[in-house]
Amino acid sequence: MASSEQVVRHFQEELEQLKARLLQMGGLAEEQVRLAIKGLVDRDRAMLARVLAGDGPLNALHIEVDDRCFTLLALHQPMAVDLRAIVAAVKINTDLERVGDLAINIAEAAQKYVEHLPVKKLIDIPRMGSIAQGMLRDALDAFVRRDVDLAQRVLNEDDTLDALKTQIFRELLTYMLQDPSTTEPALELILISRHLERIGDHATNVAEDVIFMVSAKDVRHHAAEG
């Protein structure tokens, strides 16, 4: 029979592997978002098609991570921060899978967009894409390093993304009103900016889970606590 020290070490190794899988998922999700936005900007249909066909590895990891979480909960009886880390992993796993879905949504909207003449030179949407990707990366780094300060910075970035979304909406609305022939493609750009906003929301969820995991402090629903 294993000594309790061996059991603890085994648990910590399993936890490290779980974190490694989540980082891998984060990398895949981020890359899907990057390719979808690059495919949009470069009007590259082949790249967009690759995004649409490219969610297999992410989905396989999603199921694997869920399994690992169940196994860790069932075989060990983690307490305190370890328990919070596994429950956080369950949630983060869901968030990362949704980011993958949103990359697909972006690629689908981009495919429709490139059927039309360009509405404008795309600057703010790639900027939103970079910010959202950065938030996702930082949130996962914060999870792995249990870094509350970094998680807090992710929460602050969300306002930037929100401001860009509003700016993009106003600008595209102006285009649509001035030249109705831009309506269809401009609509797709608005939807893409909403998808990017939601990717930021998922990064925010991850950051909130990190803060709760480390400090057992709930930073959600500030207003409700008032």
State the residues that interact with a second copy by CB under 8 A.
Answer: 55-56, 59-60, 62-63, 66, 69-70, 73-74, 77, 79-80, 83-84, 87, 90-91, 94, 173, 176-177, 180, 183-184, 187, 190-191, 194, 205, 218, 220-221, 224
3-class secondary-structure state, position 43: coil
For the stretch 112-117, contacts whose Cβ atoms lie closer than 8 Å and that sit 24 or more positions apart, written own/partner, are 112/184, 112/185, 112/188, 113/40, 113/185, 113/188, 113/189, 113/192, 114/40, 114/43, 114/45, 114/48, 116/184, 116/185, 117/185
CA within 13 Å, CB half, 167: 12
Smaller CB separation from a second copy, 149 or 224? 224
Q: Yes or no: say if 84 and 112 are a contact pair by the CB < 8 Å rule.
A: no
Smaller CB separation from a second copy, 70 or 145? 70
| Tokens encoding 41 | 């900007």
Smaller CB separation from a second copy, 121 or 221? 221
| Tokens encoding 87 | 């429950």
To a second copy, the closest distance from the beta carbon of 205 in angstroms equals 8
| Tokens encoding 116 | 């039309």
Smaller CB separation from a second copy, 56 or 118? 56
To a second copy, the closest distance from the beta carbon of 42 in angstroms equals 26
Smaller CB separation from a second copy, 42 or 49? 49
